[in-house]
Chain A
Amino acid sequence: MKDFIVGVVITAFAATALLWLIPTQVAPGYGGGAALSPRFWPTVIAVVILLLGAVLSAQALLRLRRKASARETRTETAATPATAPESSPWAVWTAVFMLVPYYYLSLQLGLLLSSVLAYVAYSTLAGERNVASILAFAIAGPLVLTLFFIIVAQVLIPLGPLSSIY
């Protein structure tokens, strides 16, 4: 069922690209034939994705039908449900959404300070409870990286309020 829905979503995305995204976001070419237009290659890609999405949905539908007919002919037995592994979806979503404040803090405070804060947050979220280790790595890691990029790689890392230091 998962693959069927994914296939439908992919087909819908490709159709949107063909009908709206490409006509509005890519200017047509002038002369030289359709194949030389800037729209040509994205259109080819969108058509291929549309077809592949449809194939994926069709394959998933066929598998579902085969499973359904196999269930009808098989004698039902009580099956022990497989134990799903413990997982923490909320932790994943929290980790994903924490990227947003990390990004915006980087713009305001620079990469060094925001990375220190981000490291503390992510390490704590991962279950680390040794405060000394968290703080040691949170300060040492971003600091070493900052110094490496500024001094060795000659890349100016945005430091925000600390930029007066270097």
Chain B
Amino acid sequence: MINDVLAGLTLFIDPFSLIALAFGVLIGVFIGAIPGMSTVMAISIVLPFTFTLEPIAGILLLLGVYKGGMYGGSISAILINTPGTPAASCTMLDGYPMAKQGRARAALEMSLYASCFGDMISNIVLILCAAWLASFALDFGPPELFALVVFALIIVAGVAAQQIVKGFIAMTLGLGLATIGRDLITGTERFAFGNVDLSGGLSLVPVLIGLFALPEVFQIYRERHGAPKIQLAQIGRQGMGLKSFLSHWRTLLRGSVFGVILGVIPGLGPTPAAFLSYGSARRKSKDPDSFGKGNIDGVAAAESANSAVGGSSMVPLLALGIPGDVISAVILGAFMIHGLQPGPLMFQSNIDIIYALFFGLIAGALLLFLIGKSTIPLLSRVLNLRSSLLLPMVLVLCVFGSFAVNKSMFDVLVMFSMGVFGYIMVAYDFPRAPLLIGFVLGPLLENNLRQSLLMSQGDWAFFFQSPISLLFWSFTLIYLAVSVTSRYRKSRN
């Protein structure tokens, strides 16, 4: 084993691999921070460049982009209320209010430190527990996944809304939007109205951009007093010291655990982990009412969880050859391009590459800290622009970003439509995050429901047979009961 570790270290400390990793983190932070450009897009752009690189350098480049993108998505979420990734929509709940209060630097630094913390915990767990976590993931079949996703959606709808009914309505509308396109099993069109573009369904990026970016652009016109010098939230000077950061260790550790456990389950992605961690932090907080109004624990909970998913989502990829999300699927493609087949055999035939990747993941967390810290002062220069100059540029960027996903003007139309819809939601106090999460998880939910019914030949009791399913149904009922009761008591007081 020592020889394997040393062989992995030798592969990793190649200067070219380190440069590729650093470059990947830098690209990921930069692209993730731009509204309209997602981590998936960043990885897709970078993938062709990996063809000519050595396997380790190529894969570390992609992993660096992934890590940087997860943090980068929170930058735009905090500064202009537009998440760069769906998971960052949870960071936005408290990050943006903090920025409006002049505490943007503290929010950004907590986001960065929490990302690095969660990432490091996840990497260590990956290295120590890959085999055990893979067997845990194998226990999740369609009924278990269905119960888990229902639980995650209930949490999201509950934490993101002042009125729980509005949260559920938004979430269900998101589920409904996800049905547009083709039925997963029969292939028949749903709500396409004979339109070829609609029969392909709605893409995530235009929906995400439209829902979150455009309402912010419209907001400056709503609040316009005829004064052109409306300033956006300043970065501020007050940062976050080490002692202050460590005082949130419980939230950070809890978030990391959520991220590690949920990251292992294929298909979930970082978003449910972020929201579950956020909901948990709020419940355990001495001041739960301050969540959603600039509580730094909210940022810590969301970011530690969504970054902790990164390392553990590599577990099903490396141990089983099953990609956990879109990004892992792209990384799987990179492995295969270099003649490597992730899975149990890889731990025997290419163990040195596995260890090199482990070292790369740990180094990536450190590089993320260094690169992320250095970008914060640069961001203040961008934000010193007047909103009358900056936000129209955001609109233009969103148009380009929406077009670039599928090279289709239809996506730009979707983005505009969702923008108007998002603005109406804001005007009527409906939260947008549950709609987005419902849209993202809708296909997974439907797929697992119908697969379960196929397996059980229509027997609904199948959803309540396994201990894991029963555990998540219990969590769901308990959460609903506690949530409804506490809101009822609050309204009476």
**Chain A: residues with CB nearer than 8 A to chain B?**
2-3, 6, 10, 17, 21, 25-27, 29, 32-33, 35-36, 38, 40-42, 45-46, 48-49, 52-53, 55-56, 59, 85-89, 91-92, 94-96, 99, 102-103, 106-107, 111, 115, 118-119, 122-123, 125-130, 133-134, 137, 141-142, 145-146, 149, 152-158
Contact between chains at B226 and A127 (CB < 8 Å): yes
- Give the size of the chain B interface in residues (CB under 8 angstroms): 63
Chain A residues closer than 8 Å to B489, beta-carbon distance: none
B450 near A119: Cβ-Cβ < 8 Å? no
A59:B165 contact, CB within 8 angstroms: yes
Tell me which of B191, B228, B428, B449 contacts A127 (CB under 8 A).
B228
Judge whether B222 and A92 touch: CB under 8 Å.
yes
* Chain B residues within 8 Å of A25, by CB: 189-193
Residues on A with beta carbons closer than 8 Å to the beta carbon of B412? 103, 106
Smallest CB-CB separation from A124: which chain B residue? B388
When distances are taken between beta carbons in the complex, the residues of chain B under 8 Å from A141 are: 393, 396-397
A111 & B400 in contact (Cβ 8 Å cutoff): yes
CA distance A149 to B225 in the complex (A): 36
> Contact: A88 with B222, CB < 8 Å?
yes
In the complex the two chains form, is B176's CB within 8 Å of A42's CB?
A: yes
Given contact pairs A10-B169, A126-B391, A155 touches B221 in the complex (Cβ within 8 A): no
How many A-B pairs have beta carbons closer than 8 Å: the answer is: 177
Known interface pairs A10-B169, A92-B222, A129-B228. Does A41 touch B179 (Cβ–Cβ under 8 Å)?
yes
- For A146, the closest partner residue in chain B by CB is B400
Spot the interface stretch: B57-65, B91-99, B242-250, B402-410: B402-410
Contact present for B165 and A55 (CB under 8 Å): yes
A153–B420 alpha-carbon span in the complex (Å): 28
In the complex, B3 has a CB within 8 A of chain A: no
Bound: A34/B257 CA distance, A: 40
**Are A103 and B416 closer than 8 Å at their CB atoms?**
yes
Question: Considering the chains assembled together, what is the distance between the CA atoms of A128 and B386 in angstroms?
Answer: 9
Closest B residue to A9 by beta carbon equals: B428
- Interchain CA distance A9-B428 in the complex, whole Å: 12
Inter-chain contact B458/A35, CB cutoff 8 Å: yes
Q: How far is the CB of A67 from chain B (nearest CB, A)?
A: 13
B176 engages A45 (CB within 8 Å): yes
Residues of B with C-beta under 8 A to A45: 172, 175-176, 179
Closest to B386 in A: A128
Please, which residues of chain A bring their CB within 8 A of the CB of B393?
119, 137, 141
Q: Is the CB of A92 within 8 A of B218?
A: yes
Q: Assess whether B224 is interfacial by the CB under 8 Å rule.
A: yes
Q: A17, A36, A157: which has the most chain B beta carbons within 10 Å?
A: A36
B186 within 8 A of A: yes
- The minimal Cβ–Cβ distance linking B311 to chain A, given in whole angstroms, is 28
A145-B190 Cα distance, complex, nearest whole Å = 35
- On whether the beta carbons of A99 and B416 are closer than 8 Å, the reply is yes
| Cα–Cα, bound, A118→B41 (Å) | 25
Return A20 CB to nearest CB of chain B, in Å: 12
Cross-interface CB contact of B403 among A17, A41, A111, cutoff 8 Å: A111
The chain A residue sitting closest to B176, CB to CB, is: A45
Instruction: Specify which chain A residues have a CB less than 8 angstroms from the CB of B453 in the assembled complex.
Output: 33, 35-36
With A36-B450, A103-B413 given, name 13 new contacts (CB 8 A): A6-B428, A26-B188, A45-B175, A53-B169, A88-B222, A106-B409, A128-B228, A128-B389, A129-B228, A134-B389, A137-B389, A149-B404, A158-B409
In the assembled complex, which residues on chain A have CB atoms less than 8 Å from the CB atom of B230? 127
Q: Do A107 and B409 touch (CB < 8 A)?
A: yes
* A33 to B449 alpha-carbon distance, docked (Å): 13
Q: Chain B: which residue is nearest A32 at the CB level?
A: B454
- Indicate whether A122 sits within 8 Å of B228 (C-beta atoms), given known contacts A89-B222, A106-B412: no
Chain A residues with CB under 8 A of B163: 56, 59
Q: Is B383 an interface residue (CB 8 A)?
A: no
Cα–Cα distance between A59 and B168 once the two chains are bound (Å): 14
B139 to chain A, nearest CB (A): 25
Q: Which residues of A contact B458 (CB under 8 A)?
A: 33, 35-36
B419 neighbours in A (Cβ, 8 Å): 99
Asked if B403 and A157 make an inter-chain contact with CB atoms under 8 angstroms apart, the answer reads yes
CB pair A41 B446 closer than 8 Å: yes
Whether the pair B165, A96 counts as a contact (CB closer than 8 A) is no
- CB contacts (< 8 Å) of A55 on chain B: these are 165
Contacts of B1 in A (CB 8 A): none
Chain B residues closer than 8 Å to A102, beta-carbon distance:
399
B45 close to chain A: CB less than 8 A? yes
Q: Is the beta-carbon distance between B45 and A153 smaller than 8 angstroms?
A: yes
CB distance from B26 to the nearest CB of A (A): 14
Question: Is B217 positioned at the interface, with any CB of A under 8 Å from its CB?
Answer: yes
Q: Is B128 an interface residue (CB 8 A)?
A: no
Using A106-B412, A155-B407 as known contacts, say yes or no to A96 and B423 having CB atoms under 8 A apart: yes
> Are B389's CB and A133's CB within 8 A?
yes
> A115: nearest residue on chain B (CB-CB)?
B396
* B399 x A111 contact (CB < 8 A): yes
Contacts of A38 in B (CB 8 A): 183, 185-186, 188, 190
Bound CA–CA A163/B102 (angstroms) = 45
A156 to B403, CA, bound (A): 10
- B234 contacts the other chain (CB 8 A): no
